[in-house]
């Protein structure tokens, strides 16, 4: 098999493997740094609750996490507006934007709880900071700076979790499902400990242990464990610095540090740049604003600078490392802004709500069975979103579809509507439709068909690939390259199932044979929509709508003639019947005839320009359709819809 045929799956698998490797190291670190249950505790009265206006997240960052409930996209602000938001309290911002319906009262309450808890946690962790500064030999002010930055990184992910629709937080990469919120927490942890390994692990043992304790306390998911970790030395020594240092000198804590170092040596094969790449990839998929990533950059830079200077002294080697890391962080933030802008400039279809799209569908002429099926598909997708939001398991069902019917029955129009529907529900990021046929997918030479097919699929990612006359891909013999296009398509439908919906369309009988020709097609295409021919009255309505769009009306006699033509067309129709396309040809011919009549008669008044007369309507339209062709009966393995 051609190597290009395997490339997309290989890329997905490489990404999955890199992510799994990093997550494995992060979870090993979580196990290695978990606080023992028997740690000595300090018995002190509970802290007084901290006012909400002391939030660790600036208003300019918090508000860029808010999302438009109709589109699920994060809200963009002008640069000058962001500085104004920093002057407002979190409580005011939550009240105001809740009143704008950007999130629910329950989400607002959860945000208040997280913001308040993080601020209170910082104040609790800073208890006995002067004692720790003396015991470990670092600056107490640097401890506060480091803990604040670590808690800000954790709080940022917690707020993202609350404000991001659950459907956007779970994604398949290759064959593995990942929860992006868990990934952000784990990669955050791995990144912070990797910075510790680069900047503080080789410091004197007492200082290295102190800085590691701060990282553990700031990154642990359980606040009580973090507090216990920091207070255990004070509690065990009863505040005696000399006794505590003697305890460390005898090797206490060395085992835990060595275990962390060993894990980080293995993790360093990926490198900090790999962790940053994975973090920004997830941030981009979640649609986070560049402002959010820039805040993370500034916070990580604070962590790096503080770890290297915790004791007030920075060696030349540490200074170089911080400079390199700072350049890495800046480059990541700059590239993220460019990638985000590229996505924003190519959004696919415009943002809109589901109700307006369905209203547009219902306004189409005829197609009642199709409308009913599209409503059912939209309702099913909407229920999956609601189940995910309630924490319930979703029903795994294919959204790939087969459209049967003659030309001109609205198949492409309905496909575009479905792309917009799925985008409005957050199932597709762009919702655009890429229309292709055999010529766009199949090449003339060996090895080129897979390349063409991959290119078409890549252009349709996050939207719909619409393959017209798809039956032309099959049934041309063993030497034909159409089968290669089908196999490539089937594999990508599986590999990119969260980013791609495929709709195949064509005449009824050939499409039935096409689907039945390959078990893989039958298993992946489970939704079938039959597009019926338009009835005479519907054809007449289509003609009048075309006329109205062009500012034209029919005289009474012309109206009768239109009805007669539509009856004739319908009676003589066969499987090549063009439906709305016939009406388009009929209308355009009538307009050309009207133009000739008006120019010849030198009549250009408003009424003449806007009225179609019977003599404008072509007399031979009903005889242009070929006689029905005889065809052999076809055998289909598609089960008919139950009555």
pLDDT digits (tens, 9 = 90+) for 14-25: 788 888 999 999
pLDDT digits (tens, 9 = 90+) for 515-546: 888 888 888 888 889 998 899 999 999 999 99
Is the per-residue pLDDT at 345 higher than 70? no
Do residue 296 and residue 393 come from a single domain? no
pTM here?
A: 0.64
Residue % of the chain over a pLDDT of 90 = 27
Do residue 337 and residue 457 come from a single domain? no
Instruction: For residues 619-631, give the mean pLDDT.
Output: 46
Do residue 192 and residue 315 come from a single domain? yes
553-554/611-612 β-pairing: parallel
Quick one: pLDDT band at residue 114, thresholds 50, 70, 90?
Answer: very high
Interatomic CA distance for residues 612 and 29, integer angstroms: 79
- Evaluate whether residue 46 is within a structural domain: no
Residue % of the chain over a pLDDT of 70 = 88
Q: Provide the edge-to-edge strand list for the sheet that holds 500-506.
A: 433-436, 463-468, 500-506, 401-405, 527-531
Rank 404-413, 596-605, 615-624 by mean pLDDT and report only the highest.
404-413
First to last CA, the chain: 44
Interatomic CA distance for residues 214 and 227, integer angstroms: 10
DSSP per-residue string spanning 485-513:
HHHHHHHHHHHTTTTEEEEEEE-HHHHHH
Among the listed residues 477, 322, 349, the one whose alpha carbon sits nearest the alpha carbon of residue 424: 349
Measured CA angle at 234 (ends 232, 238), to 5 deg: 120
Do residue 123 and residue 217 come from a single domain? yes
Is the per-residue pLDDT at 623 higher than 50? no
Q: Which residue has the tokens 């012309």?
A: 558
- Evaluate whether residue 642 is within a structural domain: no
Do residue 523 and residue 556 come from a single domain? no
Is the per-residue pLDDT at 190 higher than 90? yes
Contacts of 474 (CB under 8 A, 6+ apart): 482, 483, 486, 513, 514, 517, 518
Give me the pLDDT at residue 478, please. 58
Interatomic CA distance for residues 453 and 455, integer angstroms: 5
- Evaluate whether residue 639 is within a structural domain: no
Helical axes 205-219 vs 241-249, angle rounded to 10°: 100
Task: Return the number of other C-beta atoms located less than 10 Å from residue 552's C-beta.
Answer: 19
Among the listed residues 533, 535, 524, the one whose alpha carbon sits nearest the alpha carbon of residue 495: 524
Is the per-residue pLDDT at 63 higher than 50? yes
Q: Looking only at Cα atoms, what is the longest distance across the chain?
A: 113
- Evaluate whether residue 628 is within a structural domain: no
Last residue of a domain, one of 345, 373, 393: 345
Interatomic CA distance for residues 486 and 587, integer angstroms: 39
Burial of 642 (0-12, 13-18, 19+ CB in 10 A): exposed
- Evaluate whether residue 519 is within a structural domain: yes
pLDDT digits (tens, 9 = 90+) for 66-108: 988 776 778 877 777 777 888 888 888 898 888 888 888 999 9
- Evaluate whether residue 40 is within a structural domain: no
Q: Give bridge partners of residue 554 from the DSSP assignment.
A: 612
Domain that holds residue 310: 21-34+51-345
Pick the more confident residue, 522 or 349.
522
Is the per-residue pLDDT at 53 higher than 60? no
Rank 4-13, 87-96, 301-310, 594-603 by mean pLDDT and report only the highest.
301-310
Q: Is the dihedral of CA 156, 157, 158, 161 positive or negative?
A: positive
Do residue 200 and residue 75 come from a single domain? yes
* Cβ–Cβ under 8 Å, residues 29 and 131: no
Do residue 540 and residue 527 come from a single domain? no
Interatomic CA distance for residues 62 and 56, integer angstroms: 10
Do residue 391 and residue 502 come from a single domain? yes
CA 404 to chain centre: 30
* Cβ–Cβ under 8 Å, residues 530 and 405: yes
Interatomic CA distance for residues 458 and 456, integer angstroms: 6
Last residue of a domain, one of 531, 558, 592: 531
What's the domain count of the chain?
A: 3
Instruction: For residues 478-497, give the mean pLDDT.
Output: 82
Is the per-residue pLDDT at 636 higher than 50? no
Task: Return the number of other C-beta atoms located less than 10 Å from residue 372's C-beta.
Answer: 11
Is the per-residue pLDDT at 147 higher than 70? yes
Element (H, E) at 538: helix 536-549
Q: Is 271 left (phi over 0), alpha (psi -120 to 50) or beta?
A: left
Instruction: For residues 576-593, give the mean pLDDT.
Output: 88
CATH number of the domain that residue 567 is part of = 1.10.8.60
Reduce the DSSP state of residue 85 to 3 states and report it: helix
Do residue 313 and residue 250 come from a single domain? yes
- Evaluate whether residue 5 is within a structural domain: no
Do residue 432 and residue 296 come from a single domain? no
Is the per-residue pLDDT at 305 higher than 70? yes
CATH number of the domain that residue 375 is part of = 3.40.50.300
Pick the more confident residue, 424 or 319.
319
Helix, strand, coil shares of the chain, percent, nearest 5, are 65, 5, 30
- Evaluate whether residue 615 is within a structural domain: yes
Do residue 443 and residue 588 come from a single domain? no
Among the listed residues 143, 163, 221, the one whose alpha carbon sits nearest the alpha carbon of residue 189: 221
pLDDT digits (tens, 9 = 90+) for 416-471: 998 888 888 777 878 888 898 888 888 777 668 888 888 888 888 889 999 988 88
Measured CA angle at 620 (ends 408, 614), to 5 deg: 95
* Cβ–Cβ under 8 Å, residues 292 and 173: no
Last residue of a domain, one of 475, 504, 531: 531
Reduce the DSSP state of residue 221 to 3 states and report it: coil
- Angstrom distances, CA of residue 24 to CA of 190, 203, 264: 10, 27, 11
Give me the pLDDT at residue 175, please. 67
Contacts of 350 (CB under 8 A, 6+ apart): none
Interatomic CA distance for residues 414 and 255, integer angstroms: 64
Element (H, E) at 468: strand 463-468
Instruction: For residues 555-567, give the mean pLDDT.
Output: 90
Computed over its alpha carbons, how large is the radius of gyration of the chain? 33
Do residue 237 and residue 137 come from a single domain? yes
Q: What are phi and psi of 530, to 5 degrees?
A: -95, 120
């Amino acid at each position: 098999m051609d190597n290009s045929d395997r490339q997309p799956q290989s890329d997905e698998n490489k990404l999955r493997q890199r992510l799994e490797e990093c997550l494995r190291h992060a979870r090993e670190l979580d196990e290695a740094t978990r606080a023992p249950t028997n740690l000595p505790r300090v018995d002190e009265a509970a802290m007084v609750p901290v006012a909400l206006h002391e939030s660790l997240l600036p208003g300019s960052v918090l508000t860029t996490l808010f999302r438009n409930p109709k589109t699920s996209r994060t809200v963009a602000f002008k640069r000058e507006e962001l500085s104004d938001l920093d002057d407002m309290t979190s409580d005011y911002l939550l009240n105001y934007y809740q009143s704008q319906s950007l999130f629910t009262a329950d989400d607002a309450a959860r945000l208040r709880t997280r913001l308040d808890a993080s601020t209170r946690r910082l104040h609790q962790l800073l208890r006995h900071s002067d004692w720790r500064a003396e015991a470990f030999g670092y600056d107490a002010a640097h401890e506060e700076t480091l803990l604040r930055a670590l808690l800000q990184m954790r709080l940022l992910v917690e707020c993202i979790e609350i404000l991001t629709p659950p459907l956007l937080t779970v994604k398949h990469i290759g064959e593995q499902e990942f929860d992006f919120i868990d990934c952000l927490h784990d990669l955050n942890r791995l990144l912070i400990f990797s910075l510790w390994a680069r900047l503080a692990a080789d410091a004197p043992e007492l200082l290295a242990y102190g800085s590691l304790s701060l990282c553990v306390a700031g990154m642990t998911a359980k606040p009580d464990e973090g507090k216990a970790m920091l207070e255990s030395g004070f509690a065990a020594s009863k505040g005696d610095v000399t006794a505590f240092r003697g305890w460390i000198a005898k090797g206490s804590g060395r085992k835990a540090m060595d275990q962390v170092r060993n894990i980080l040596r293995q993790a360093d094969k990926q490198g900090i740049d790999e962790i940053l790449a994975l973090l920004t990839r997830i941030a981009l998929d979640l649609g986070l604003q560049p402002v959010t990533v820039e805040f993370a950059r500034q916070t990580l830079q604070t962590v790096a600078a503080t770890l290297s200077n915790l004791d007030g002294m920075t060696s030349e080697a540490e200074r170089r490392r911080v400079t390199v890391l700072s350049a890495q962080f800046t480059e990541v933030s700059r590239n993220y802004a460019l990638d985000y802008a590229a996505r924003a400039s190519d959004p696919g279809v415009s943002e809109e709500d589901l109700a307006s799209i369905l209203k547009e569908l219902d306004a189409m002429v005829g197609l009642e069975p199709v409308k009913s099926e599209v409503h059912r598909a939209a309702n099913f997708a909407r229920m999956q979103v609601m189940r995910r939001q309630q924490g319930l398991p979703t029903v795994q069902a294919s959204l790939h579809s087969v459209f049967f019917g003659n030309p001109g029955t609205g198949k492409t129009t309905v496909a575009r509507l479905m792309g917009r529907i799925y985008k409005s529900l957050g199932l597709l990021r762009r919702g655009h439709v890429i229309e292709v046929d055999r010529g766009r997918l199949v090449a003339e030479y060996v090895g080129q068909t897979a390349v063409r097919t991959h290119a078409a699929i890549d252009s349709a990612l996050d939207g719909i690939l619409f393959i017209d006359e798809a039956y032309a891909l099959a049934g041309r013999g063993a030497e034909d390259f159409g089968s290669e296009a089908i196999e490539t398509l089937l594999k990508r439908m599986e590999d990119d199932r969260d980013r791609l919906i495929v709709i195949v369309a064509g005449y009824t009988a050939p499409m039935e044979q096409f689907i039945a020709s390959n078990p893989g097609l039958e298993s992946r295409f489970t939704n079938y929509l039959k597009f019926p021919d338009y009835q005479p009255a519907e054809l007449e309505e289509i003609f009048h709508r075309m006329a109205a769009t062009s500012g034209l009306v029919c005289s009474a006699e012309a109206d009768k003639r239109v009805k007669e033509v539509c009856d004739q067309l319908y009676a003589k129709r066969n499987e090549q019947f063009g439906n709305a396309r016939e009406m388009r040809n009929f209308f355009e011919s009538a307009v050309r005839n009207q133009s000739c009549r008006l120019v010849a008669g030198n009549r250009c008044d408003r009424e003449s320009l806007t009225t179609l007369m019977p003599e404008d309507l072509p007399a031979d339209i009903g005889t242009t359709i070929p006689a029905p062709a005889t065809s052999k009966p076809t055998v289909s393995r598609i089960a008919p819809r139950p009555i």
